[in-house]
Structure 1
Amino acid sequence: MQILRTERLALREFTPLDARFLLRLVNEPGWLRNINDPGVRNEQDALAWAEGRLFKGYREQGHGFWAMERLADGELVGMCGLFRRPALPEPDIGYALLAAHEGHGYALEAARGCVAHARDVFRWPALMAITALDNPRSVGLLGKLGFVEQARQQIEGYSEPSRVFRLALG
């Protein structure tokens, strides 16, 4: 199901047919360095990971991380979306790209669409975001969106503390 559209991207729910892409994405060096190693080593692992991390959120919360599909050719380039993390007081935004698609503005474009969706559709008062301690590209993207760093916090599922950001949407 398509959630939103930007100039060059459609953001849609992932499906089981995306397992091969998810396997590739969560094993990208950037994902492993800046997010975590979810232990996904084959397509069955990817499906199980997607069930717990993506599909469950769609069913229970009505949102989650969505596939970023390039409108020009339908190619999946990454994920971006909105998620509720127990460790944070407000929903957060997250994104990840295949390395081959970095540097083309897709993450910023998708994130802008998600911020607008959070504000205009969900009517949330604020969004949060987390990054690895040493992830200057992500910090720069969040700065372009207007996020302000709040703290450093140990988040469950991450081996090191994260930088925590917030954006008021009101």
Structure 2
Amino acid sequence: MTNLGFNTQRLIVRPITIEDAPFVLELMNTPKWIKFIGDRNVHSVEEAEGYIKEKALPQLKTHGHTNNVVIRKKDGTKMGTCGIYHREGTDEVDIGFAFLPPYEGKGYAYEASSELMKFAKNQLKLNTIQAYTLEENTASRKLLERLGLELIGTGYLPNNNEELLMYRKTFEK
């Protein structure tokens, strides 16, 4: 069994749990989440709990990884999420991240995501990782490129008719 969580200099990164539902509710209803990720119709703590049970926990059980909560060590503040996802209808796994507005632009997303990339390569033994983002999401695009992912074209996620930029990184053996 792999170690499912990790720490960085400033952060604790651990798999999401049902107890994170109030935080997930807040995050999923931020303007940037709705604009760049999409409205998931999660408008109560109960709906957030359901989302975690239906989307995140099955991936953890089946694949050994899921969405992770990013927590600031110095005060225990839940700031965002980053994770590796198996999307239904795709063969590749992808990395994703989202942070509450007060914690954007402070290097937290890079710190958590770069360590998550190492986890994907070393613990999960993945050969490649992908990412998808809207063209106008420049912050996400910059972070993906800083993480070493390269733009490979455009495409669509299953059950989504919005054209997305597709990024990929192949890990060296």
Q: TM-score range by the shorter chain?
A: over 0.9
- The structural deviation recorded for 1:157 is 4.4
Counterpart position of 2:100: 98
> Cα RMSD between the aligned structures?
1.4
**1:89 Cα deviation after fit:** 3.1
* C-alpha distance in 2 between matches for 1:58 and 1:95: 17
5 Å-filtered alignment, 1:129-148, equals: 129-148=131-150
In structure 1, C-alpha distance between the alignment counterparts of 2:141 and 2:89, rounded to whole Å: 20
Aligned CA distance change for structure 1 residues 61 and 41 (closer, same or farther; 3 Å): same
- What does residue 115 of structure 1 align with? 117
SS of equivalent residue, structure 1 residue 111: helix
Runs of 5+ consecutive residues of structure 2 not aligned to the other structure = none
Which position in structure 1 is the counterpart of 2:18? 16
Structure 1 residues 157 and 77, CA gap change in structure 2 (3 angstroms): farther
Letter in 2 for 1:101: Y
User: Unpaired segments of 5 or more residues in structure 1?
Assistant: none
- Counterpart contact for 2:4–2:65, Cα < 8 Å: no
The alignment's TM-score, normalised by the length of structure 1, stands at: 0.95
Q: Do 1:36 and 1:158's aligned partners in 2 also have CA atoms closer than 8 Å?
A: no
Q: Decide which of 27, 31, 34 is 2:33's aligned counterpart.
A: 31
Report the TM-score, using the length of structure 2 for normalisation: 0.93
User: How many residues are matched?
Assistant: 170
User: Which stretch of the first structure deviates more once superposed, 6-15 or 157-166?
Assistant: 157-166
Give a deviation string over 1:78-113, Cα, whole Å, max 9, x none: 000111123443211110000111011111111101
Q: Distance in 2 between matches of 1:70 and 1:25?
A: 16
